[in-house]
Each structure stands twice: as structure tokens, then as C-alpha cells.
Amino acid sequence: MINRLKDGLKKSREGFLGQFTGLFRGSLLDEDFWESMEEILIQADVGICATTKISNELRGLAKKLNIKDPEELKELFKKEIVKLLTINNDNLVDGGYLNLLLFVGVNGVGKTTTIAKMAHKFINSGEKVIFAAADTFRAAAIEQLQEWGSRLGVDVIKHQRGGDPAAVVFDAINAANTRKADIILVDTAGRLHTNVNLMEELKKIKRVAKNELSKGLVKTVLVMDATTGQNGILQAKLFNEALNLDAIILTKLDGTAKGGIVIAIEEELKIPIWFVGVGEKPDDLQNFDPQVFVEALFE
């Protein structure tokens, strides 16, 4: 992953990274230093709230520990962000039982592609996967999942376009029980978090799943695009309010976007980040490693 991320980040070195490296190589820890540090974080989509908070904490820490060396401060800086991003993401799937993962998010973040990548991962570790095509809204969403299903050898449970997504999930659970599957991956239609009715629809899907499976085995995963700006905080908040998110997957980290929005999200919500998407192929999904994420930022 490091190499892939490095590759991606190389392209923007003159921008964000160049500034950062240059910054830490400087020797004076004056107000300009802090200000430009804040600017850099903001340019990575960390946002004003989280940036101000991190910056203030570091100012305090630098003073307390009497750190004057920028290199040393850089390490401290990394440590702070790593700490913020380190949230236990084990045990999201319970071995030996039928698990259901509900993938949600706004339109176009890469839910279906992520589901395909997740399936690839589970299949490789010997699990039997079933897809539930619960995006019954978008044209050809079912076909898209079916295409992945046939490429990966995964059964797809589907209804007609326009059908009730909760009913699809209900059927998928029955099918998974009969076929002795280990994991159901549920693809839902992209929806804006501000659409009350569509959020209710998701709640219903989750209710149905929880009725059929024991509660702990139903997990909700928010898929988020790394290019997302400050709206990402509202997305995470509202999806979390409606569904109690268990994990976040950050997609499209192979571009020039830094995905700094997750720092802002974690500052507030503390939802574990599970994987990051770094390409379009099934194996372009990596475990989220805060250390690697932060190293790649500061590289």
C-alpha cells in the first residue's frame, strides 16, 4: 500500500507535500510556521475545526515539552494524527456466523466497486459470499452488481428495478441460510444524507436485517470518496445518526486528494476506518493503517 500511496502522492508533491517537507525543514517555530501548517491541513480537506484543534494541541504540547526543533515537531505531529485515527477495527465480522454488511453512502462514492473488492477479499480467505442487489433505484445498478457477481463467482439476490430494497435483503438472508453462506454484502442506492425519506428506507433495511439475524451480525459501513470536502462531516454525522455506523471505507485514495476529511470525522465521531480504495481492480483495497496513511501524507 505504501508504494501505491506514494505513487499517487508523488504527483502532488510540489503542492501539499512540498510545502510540508519544506516547512518542517525550516528552523524557526514562529507564528508563520503554525499558520502555514494550518493552511496545509486545510488544503488537505481536514477543515477548520479539526485543523484548529490539532494545531492548538500541538502548540500546547510543543510548549510543554519545550520542542524547538521542527523535525521533532513533525514526529509529534504525525503521532497526534495517528493517535486520532487509531480506532479498533477488528471484529467487524464474526467468524462462524452469517454476517451481513450494509454498504451506504452518497451517490457516486464507489459502493458497488467497494463491495466487489470486499467480496474478493472474503473469497480469498475462504468465505462464501452473497450479494444483495438492494440498489433498486439507479438504472443498471443491478446489472453492475451482477457483472461483478459473475466475474467473482458470487450469487446475486435481486428483484426488479423499483422494488423494495428491504425485501431484497430479506430474500438474501433466506438464500444465504439455505446456501450456507458466511457473508451477505448489501449494495444500496446512493442517497444524499439530507433526503429524509431515503434515509428512512435505509433504516427499514437495517431493521429487517436485524429481525432476521442476531443483532451483532448486522454491520453498517459508510463508503466515502476521498475527494469529498467539508460536506463529508455532515454525511458521516447524518448517516451515523440514522444507522449507527460501524465502519468507514475511504475510496479513490489513488488520486491527488488526501482524504483529510476523515481526520475531521474521527475528531468528532470515532468510527473505525476499515479499508481504503486505491484503484479499480478487485485487489485495490487495503487495510486502513493510520501510520501508513499519515506517513504518506508527510512523505
Partner 1 sequence: MFESLSTKLQNIFSKLKTYGRLNEKQVEEVLREIKLALLEADVNFKVVKSFIAKVKERAVGVEVMKSLTPAQQIIKIVNEELIDLMGGAPGKITFAPKSPTIYMLVGLQGSGKTTSAAKLANYLKTMGKKPFLIAADIYRPAAIDQLESLGKELSVSVYSDRKSNKCEEIVRSGIKQGIAKGSDTIIIDTAGRLHIDDEMMDELENVKRAVRPHQILLVVDAMTGQDAVNIAVSFRDKLDFDGLILTKLDGDARGGAALSIRAVTGKSIKLVSLSEKIDSLQIFYPERMASRILGMGDVLTLIEKAEATINKEEAASLMERIQKQEFTLNDFLAQMQQIKSMGSFDQVLGMLPKLPGSSKNAFSGVDEERIKRVEAIIKSMTQEERKDPKTMNGNRRLRVAKGSGTTTSEVNRLLKQFSETKKMMKQFSNLGSRAKISRKISPFFNF
Those residues with Cβ within 8 angstroms of residue 91's Cβ, 6 or more apart along the chain or in another chain: none
Angle between helices 48-64 and 31-43 (to 10 degrees): 150
Residue closer to partner 1 by CB (options 92, 198) is 198
Which part of the chain contacts partner 1 (CB under 8 A), choosing from 26-34, 85-93, 201-209, 252-260? 252-260
The count of residues interacting with partner 1 (CB under 8 A) is: 55
CB environment 50-76: b (16+ within 10 A), e (fewer): bbebbbeebeeebeeeebeebeebbee
Q: Quick check: 47 binds partner 1 (CB under 8 A)? A: yes
Q: Is residue 63 a contact partner of residue 36, using CB atoms and an 8 Å limit?
A: no
CB of 35 to partner 1, least distance (A): 12
Instruction: Please choose, from the candidates 70, 73, 17, 78, the residue with its C-alpha nearest in 3D space to the C-alpha of residue 44.
Output: 17
Instruction: Please choose, from the candidates 257, 250, 292, the residue with its C-alpha nearest in 3D space to the C-alpha of residue 271.
Output: 250
Instruction: Please choose, from the candidates 82, 76, 70, 14, the residue with its C-alpha nearest in 3D space to the C-alpha of residue 295.
Output: 82
Q: Quick check: 255 binds partner 1 (CB under 8 A)? A: yes
CB of 259 to partner 1, least distance (A): 9
Q: Quick check: 65 binds partner 1 (CB under 8 A)? A: no
Q: Is residue 102 a contact partner of residue 220, using CB atoms and an 8 Å limit?
A: yes
Q: Is residue 171 a contact partner of residue 157, using CB atoms and an 8 Å limit?
A: yes
Which position among 65, 143, 216, 287 is part of the footprint of partner 1 (CB under 8 A)?
Answer: 143
Q: Quick check: 104 binds partner 1 (CB under 8 A)? A: no
Q: Quick check: 228 binds partner 1 (CB under 8 A)? A: yes
Which position among 125, 160, 178, 197 is part of the footprint of partner 1 (CB under 8 A)?
Answer: 197
Which position among 222, 257, 265, 296 is part of the footprint of partner 1 (CB under 8 A)?
Answer: 257
Q: Quick check: 139 binds partner 1 (CB under 8 A)? A: yes
CB of 299 to partner 1, least distance (A): 16
Q: Quick check: 35 binds partner 1 (CB under 8 A)? A: no
Q: Is residue 256 a contact partner of residue 227, using CB atoms and an 8 Å limit?
A: no
Q: Which residue has the cell 524547538?
A: 68
Q: Quick check: 163 binds partner 1 (CB under 8 A)? A: no
CB of 12 to partner 1, least distance (A): 7
Q: Quick check: 284 binds partner 1 (CB under 8 A)? A: no
Residue closer to partner 1 by CB (options 2, 192) is 192
Instruction: Please choose, from the candidates 228, 282, 245, the residue with its C-alpha nearest in 3D space to the C-alpha of residue 101.
Output: 245
Q: What does the binding site for partner 1 look like in residue numbers (CB under 8 A)?
A: 8, 11-12, 15, 39, 42-45, 47-49, 106-110, 137-141, 143-144, 146-148, 151, 192-197, 225, 227-235, 237-238, 252, 254-258, 260-261, 280
